[in-house]
Amino acid sequence: MAKSTDPAASSSSTRDALKAVKAAQRERRLQERASAKANKAENRARKKATKKPGVFKQMGEVFSMTRAHDPKVVLWMSLAFVGALVIGLIVGLLLNNWITWLLIAIPFGLLAAVIIMNRMAERAAFARIDGRPGAAGAALSTLRRGWIIHEQPVAVSPKTQDAVFRAVGRPGVVLITEGPTNRVRPLVEKERRNMQRFLPNVPIQVLATGHGEGQVELQDLAKTLKRMKKTLTKQEVQAVDKRLAALGSAKMPIPKGIDPYRARPDRKSMRGR
């Protein structure tokens, strides 16, 4: 005898199965949404961590760094701002329109204060790396167009960590020494003699960095190089650099351990950006 089936029971089991499937799908969707939210939050946190600070925040950091090195920065910035206002006020009184000229002088006063802060921030940045190995190379890195600078020194004394850096520009080849003049002289003279054999018609000059007599301070190094008399063309500068690169490839590599601190100034801080 055939076994009868209950339609109500079959329909109930089907509904239960559908409910189970829908519940599983709902749970899966909730898990996917939670995972998507977690990924978005992680990406947002990563972007926030890698996002560059704003202009005002950077200027605040520069101001804090400069003030820690020289508390007089507040005084000099205030004097620059007030001086611009006084000049604007005087011009306005002479033209019988002091309110307008005072309003015009306010942004110029702010600009003057920022310029003073940038100058003092540059000094503070160099003061932080002064005396550390690689400081001369750090000062050279602030040079802009017209010069070919190599981060690594071309000659170095492993014992004393005295170093010789090289800059190639329109004034010729400039060797920048780092260390006491008497102690580093044999090192730089040897390097100059080697270069003169391959560059007989190219001027080769030497600048000593430091605070002694005849030495150039780090903050004045870039200015000193820019003021040198130009004797080469841009094409000749490239040719000299290629010849020096070929000469350097034939030399022994510089021993490891040079410039252990990798001293480099904060260029953004020096620009106030």
Measuring CA to CA, how many Å separate 20 from each of 24, 31, 141, 207, 247?
Answer: 6, 16, 68, 83, 78
Q: Give the separation between CA 176 and CA 216, rounded to whole angstroms.
A: 10
User: Partners of 219 in the beta sheet?
Assistant: none
Query: How much is the pLDDT for 253?
Result: 47
| DSSP state letters, 134-148 | THHHHHHTT--TTEE
Domain-wise residue ranges, the chain: 55-129, 135-265
Query: How much is the pLDDT for 11?
Result: 64
Q: Give the separation between CA 90 and CA 205, rounded to whole angstroms.
A: 49
Max Cα separation, the chain?
A: 123
Amino acid at 186: P
Residues 271 and 66: beta-carbon distance below 8 Å: no
**28 burial level (CB within 10 Å; 0-12, 13-18, 19+):** exposed
φ/ψ (deg, to 5) at 42: -65, -45
Residues of the chain with pLDDT under 70: 1-13, 15-18, 47-54, 248-273
User: Whose CA is closest to 204, among 188, 226, 217, 216?
Assistant: 188
In angstroms, how far is the first alpha carbon of the chain from the final one?
94
Query: How much is the pLDDT for 50?
Result: 60
Q: Give the separation between CA 16 and CA 32, rounded to whole angstroms.
A: 24
Amino acid at 160: T
Instruction: List all residues 6 or more positions away from 203 whose beta carbon is below 8 Å from its beta carbon.
Output: 171, 172, 173, 231
Task: Indicate whether this model's pTM tops 0.75.
Answer: no
User: Partners of 210 in the beta sheet?
Assistant: none
User: Whose CA is closest to 195, among 186, 187, 204?
Assistant: 204
Residues 221 and 207: beta-carbon distance below 8 Å: yes
DSSP H helix total and E strand total for the chain: 9, 5
